Amino acid sequence: MTAPGSQFPTAATFALEHLDLRTMLAGGQAFRWQVASCGTTATGVVAGNLWEVRWSPPRFTVHCLSPQRLPESAQVFATWYFDLERDYRQVFAQLAQDEHLQPLLQPKRGLRLLRQEWFEVMVSFVLSANNHIARISRSVELLAARYGTPFSAAGKTCFAFPTPTQLAQATAQDLRKYCNTGYRDRYLMDLALQVSQSLPAWNQSATTATGELRTWLLELPGVGPKVADCILLFGFGRWDVFPVDTWVRKAVQLAYFPDQPPFSDQKLRAFALERFGPLAGFAQQVLFEAIRR
C-alpha cells in the first residue's frame, strides 16, 4: 500500500512461523511500543515514524502511519528492524544443544532481537539503572516530547526521539523536573554533549570491533559494564556480548550452578561467552525472559 504523497509502500506483510509481540516489544529491549491487551497488535514510534504492527499467524503486518516521513519502504524498514532475514530456526536449533537452555527455548520461539537506533538505546539503558520498564518507558516518552521533533500521524502529534544534538541542549534541572530522570539527569546531559561532539566517530561505529566499541561506551557518563553490553546488543546488534543484571545473574546461577556460591558478574559473563559464543546475546535474552516471567 502506498499512501497519497508517499513514493514508498507504507505497509508490508511477512509470513512467520513464530512471533510474540509482547515478549519482543515490551520485554525490555525497546521502550516506545504499546502492545494491546490482546497481544496481537502494537503501535510505536520508531526511527522517527509511527508504526502499527499486527500478528495474525502466520501473517505479520507492518504499517507506517506517518507516510510523509517514510525514507524507505515499510518492507525494507521492517526487514531490518525486526531482523527478519536471520534464520531464527537455526539460532534455536544451535542453542537447543545446550541441555540446560533447551527447556527454556520452546516458550520463547516468538522472540526476536530488534535492531534499533543506537543513540536511543544509549539513553534508554542509562535510564535503566536501578529502574523498571514502565518508568523507563515514561521517561523516554517525556524526553521525546520535550526535545524531539514533532510530527503528525493518525490524527495526533507524535515526537521522534531526540538526536544527540537536540538532547545536548537540555539542562540537568530540566531533565529531572520534566522527564522524570532522577539522579541520571547529569549522566544524560553529559552523555549527549560528549556524543554530539564526536558524532562522526559514532556514526562509523558499525565497522568498529566489539571490544573497542565497548571501551568507548565505558568512557561515557552513566555507562557501566551491564549498560555497555545492553547498548552493544540492542543498539549495535552485537550478539557476542552477555549483559548481566539481577535477573540474568539469578537465571544463570539456577540453571548452571545451583549448588555453588554466587559468581561475580565478570565470571558469569566469561562463562556465557565461552558457552554460547556468537549467540550469547540471544541466549541472555532467553534467560532474562524465562526468569522474569
Each residue's pLDDT tens digit, 63-109: 999 998 999 999 999 999 999 999 999 999 999 999 999 999 999 99
Percent of the chain with pLDDT over 90: 91
Q: Are 262 and 141 in contact (CB under 8 A)?
A: no
Residue 5 has pLDDT above 80, yes or no: no
Q: What is the mean pLDDT of residues 139-162?
A: 97
For residue 149, what pLDDT is reported?
97
At 2, the pLDDT band (50, 70, 90 cuts) reads low
Q: Are 29 and 113 in contact (CB under 8 A)?
A: yes
Residue 57 sits at φ, ψ, to 5 deg, of -45, 130
Three-state DSSP at 106 gives helix
Angstrom distance (rounded) from CA 285 to CA 282:
5
Residue 145 has pLDDT above 70, yes or no: yes
For residue 152, what pLDDT is reported?
96
Q: Are 88 and 23 in contact (CB under 8 A)?
A: no
- How far is C-alpha 211 from the geometric centre of its chain's CA atoms? 20
- Quote the DSSP letter at residue 215: H
The CB density around residue 183, as the number of other CB atoms within 10 Å, is 11
For residue 293, what pLDDT is reported?
72
At 272, the pLDDT band (50, 70, 90 cuts) reads very high
Residue 1 has pLDDT above 90, yes or no: no
Task: Read off the pLDDT of residues 152-205 as tens digits, 9 standing for 90 and up.
Answer: 999 999 999 999 999 999 999 999 999 999 999 999 999 999 999 999 999 999
| Length of the chain as a residue count | 293
Residue 53 sits at φ, ψ, to 5 deg, of -125, 150
For residue 6, what pLDDT is reported?
61
Angstrom distance (rounded) from CA 282 to CA 198:
30
Angstrom distance (rounded) from CA 135 to CA 118:
20
For residue 79, what pLDDT is reported?
98
Q: pTM of the entire structure? A: 0.95
Residue 4 has pLDDT above 70, yes or no: no
Q: What residue ranges define each of the domains in the chain, with the CATH number in brackets?
A: 11-84 (3.30.310.40), 88-111+239-293 (1.10.1670.10), 118-235 (1.10.340.30)
- Quote the DSSP letter at residue 161: P
CA nearest to 232, candidates 183, 177, 269: 269
Residue 204 sits at φ, ψ, to 5 deg, of -100, 10
Mean residue pLDDT of the chain comes to 95
